[in-house]
Amino acid sequence: MSTPVPGIETVGVVGAGQMGNGIAHVFAVAGYDVVMSDLEQERLDAAMEVIDGNLQRQVNRDLLSVEDKAAALSRIKGTTDLADFGSCDLVIEAAAEVEALKKDIFRALVEVVPERAILASNTSSISITRLATVTDRPERFMGIHFMNPVPVMKLVELIRGIATDEPTFEIMRAVVASLGKEAAIAEDFPAFIVNRILVPMINEAVYTLYEGVGTVESIDKAMKLGTNHPMGPLELADFIGLDTCLAIMNVLHDGLADTKYRPCPLLVKYVEAGWLGRKTGRGFYDYRGEEPVPTR
């Protein structure tokens, strides 16, 4: 494992959900001090439990020593108070995919972080240029889009806003390398590269279900065995979170003004029902029993 990038010692992570806890995990393993925030202590406790379990999995696979696991855990501090980000050199926002919420977080962050700190968002689709405008440092603002599950997936998309300066970009490129990951550089257009291609495919799978072309089982089986995808699109949608998938379709639809990106009404219905996938126990599959059971 490489060493932390000089000048970046403490990394703040806002939001301790499935992405935030993964981001905290990989930075702590790479030797950075991490401050991770969420709205409630319970969510932080749950995140620490997930991180502990995921680190243990790496120990079991001989990817990490028991000592390194303990050291990584000791480097992560949970907080419900953004004021604790006062010593961060870099802050990565990983709260829900809602532009107004992200902007509120960045407005609050600039009040507490040092002037030198780089601000970044793990947004899946929202304009980096637009998010940067609410800060006092659009030149030190970037998109850093991790893939789920963060400790496992190699790729990180790096997105410059219109004002991002070269030193910031180079530091973030070095940060990605220090995590043992590969960067793909994307321009700041709705959903960047990965989700511009992936999420419309998921939306099309939901239309295929909505129109009765296939069942949940047959659609996922067709795509797994027919195209060699490791997960079917509906299984993957549940894994990503159906609220996140819908939010990305809305960003594509609004941002590119093309009706080919209209979200499937069935996806909207699942989100309205609170059936958001794995994280809520039910989506296109029901995860509350021993085995996932299709919900249609």
Q: Of 4, 11, 13, 18, which lies in the binding site for ligand NAD, with binding defined by CB under 6 A?
A: 18
DSSP H or E segment with residue 272: helix 265-272
Kindly state the smallest distance separating residue 3's Cβ from ligand NAD, in Å: 26
DSSP state of 62: T
Total number of residues that touch ligand NAD (CB under 6 A): 27
Nearest to 92 by CA among 22, 151, 190, 29: 22
Say whether 145 is catalytic: yes
Residue with Cβ nearer ligand NAD (29 or 95): 95
Kindly state the smallest distance separating residue 273's Cβ from ligand NAD, in Å: 16
Nearest to 83 by CA among 48, 121, 109: 109
* Residue from 93, 97, 157, 235 carrying the catalytic annotation: 157
Residue with Cβ nearer ligand NAD (84 or 165): 84
Residue with Cβ nearer ligand NAD (54 or 123): 123
CA distances from 1 to 146, 148, 155, 157, 181 (A): 18, 20, 16, 20, 11
- Do 40 and 85 meet the contact criterion of CB atoms below 8 Å apart? no
Say whether 124 is catalytic: yes
CA distances from 140 to 68, 106, 199, 296 (A): 32, 13, 29, 46
Q: Binding pattern to ligand NAD, positions 230-249, x when CB under 6 A?
A: ----------xx--x-----
Q: Collect all residues with Cβ–Cβ distance below 8 Å to 265 and sequence separation of at least 6.
A: 210
How would you class 154 by CB atoms within 10 Å of its CB: exposed for 0-12, middle for 13-18, buried for 19 or more? exposed
Q: Binding pattern to ligand NAD, positions 34-63, x when CB under 6 A?
A: ---xxx---x--------------------
- Residue 84 token pair: 């604790």
119 binds ligand NAD (CB under 6 A): no
How would you class 71 by CB atoms within 10 Å of its CB: exposed for 0-12, middle for 13-18, buried for 19 or more? middle
Q: Of 12, 20, 78, 263, which lies in the binding site for ligand NAD, with binding defined by CB under 6 A?
A: 20
142 binds ligand NAD (CB under 6 A): no
Say whether 157 is catalytic: yes
Residue with Cβ nearer ligand NAD (208 or 244): 244
Residue with Cβ nearer ligand NAD (96 or 162): 96
Residues 154-213 that bind ligand NAD (CB under 6 A): none
96 binds ligand NAD (CB under 6 A): yes
Nearest to 121 by CA among 54, 179, 182, 192: 192
CA distances from 180 to 1, 142, 183 (A): 7, 19, 10
Say whether 25 is catalytic: no
120 binds ligand NAD (CB under 6 A): no
What is the C-alpha separation between 234 and 224, in angstroms, rounded?
11
* Binding range to ligand NAD, per CB under 6 A, among 48-56, 95-103, 249-257, 262-270: 95-103
What is the contact surface with ligand NAD in residues (CB under 6 A)? 14-20, 37-39, 43, 94-97, 101, 105, 122-124, 145-146, 148, 240-241, 244, 279
Residues marked active site are found at 124, 145, 157, 195
